[in-house]
Amino acid sequence: MTDTHDHHQPPEGALPGALGAVLADPDLWEDPEPGLEDAVAGEIGARAGPAGGAPRRRWPGVAAAAAVLAVAGVVAGVAITVGDGPDGSGPDDGGGAPAGVEVALSGTGLAPGAGATALVIDTPLGTRIDLDVDGLGPAPEGSYYEAWMSDRDGRVGVSAGTFHLRGGDGAIELWSGVSLAEYPQLTVTLQEAGETAGSDRVVLVPG
């Protein structure tokens, strides 16, 4: 049978008209910009840390976590309001919802004299942690610090990012995909490059 009536409709089992209309829409077929894949992979890879390619950020386990966090307990952060005034103060609106929680961290035996203040803020992009560190030495070459948010039992820990302080103390911006309400225990460990799990070398704990 020759194709004497070459037509635009499919030859059999005609598509629903609505589907045909979608298939004819140029917006359906447009591909993402070239280079976007590399940008996405690069940004995630940079935030994921140096291990790359291996499953990592496994929490050290209940026992190790419990040993470290037993005295810390659940973080009882101080709710604050991040103002938008020139001096950081907010409008006196008589009790607006707090925009962040301030958590105090202190050094363990591995980092005596160290301390930090973490301002934990829920944003539409995730949980931002502004960590102001004081007295914590630079991570030796081949190692780095990692911040963790763990649940109340200390069973599940989620990495909030890494930093090294080899340029000195200062303010560090970290991000997490989980909320402080669900993962209220904030700690910092010292990691060796290439480690595939959270270490038990905890340097900062709540308190």
Partner 1 sequence: MDDLIARFRAGEDEAVRTVYRRHAGAVGTVARSVLSDPELVAEVVQQTFLKAWQAAATFDADRELAPWLYTIARRTAIDVARSEGRPALGGHALEHEVGVDAPSFERTWEVFEVRRAVDDLPEREREVVRLAHLLGFTHREIADRLDVPVGTVKSRLGRAHRRLGAALGHLEWAANRAGPGAVQENERR
Residue 66 phi/psi, 5° resolution? -65, -40
Q: How far is the CB of 144 from partner 1 (least distance, A)?
A: 15
Q: How far is the CB of 54 from partner 1 (least distance, A)?
A: 7
Q: Which is nearer to partner 1, 82 or 197 (CB)?
A: 197
Contact in structure between 152 and 101 (CB atoms under 8 Å): no
Q: Which is nearer to partner 1, 107 or 161 (CB)?
A: 161
Q: Which is nearer to partner 1, 111 or 149 (CB)?
A: 149
Q: Which is nearer to partner 1, 33 or 87 (CB)?
A: 33
Q: How far is the CB of 26 from partner 1 (least distance, A)?
A: 7
| Residue 28 per-residue DSSP state | H
Nearest to 187 by CA among 98, 88, 111, 123: 111
Whole-Å CA distances, 108 to 72, 119, 183, 203: 11, 20, 21, 5
Per DSSP, the residues of 111-125 read STT-EEEEEEEEETT
Residue type, 166: R
Q: How far is the CB of 48 from partner 1 (least distance, A)?
A: 3
Question: Binding residues for partner 1, per CB under 8 A?
Answer: 3, 5-20, 22-33, 36-37, 39-41, 43-45, 47-49, 51-57, 124-126, 158, 175-178, 182
Q: Which is nearer to partner 1, 64 or 197 (CB)?
A: 197
Whole-Å CA distances, 31 to 27, 34, 44, 143: 9, 8, 21, 40
Q: How far is the CB of 52 from partner 1 (least distance, A)?
A: 6
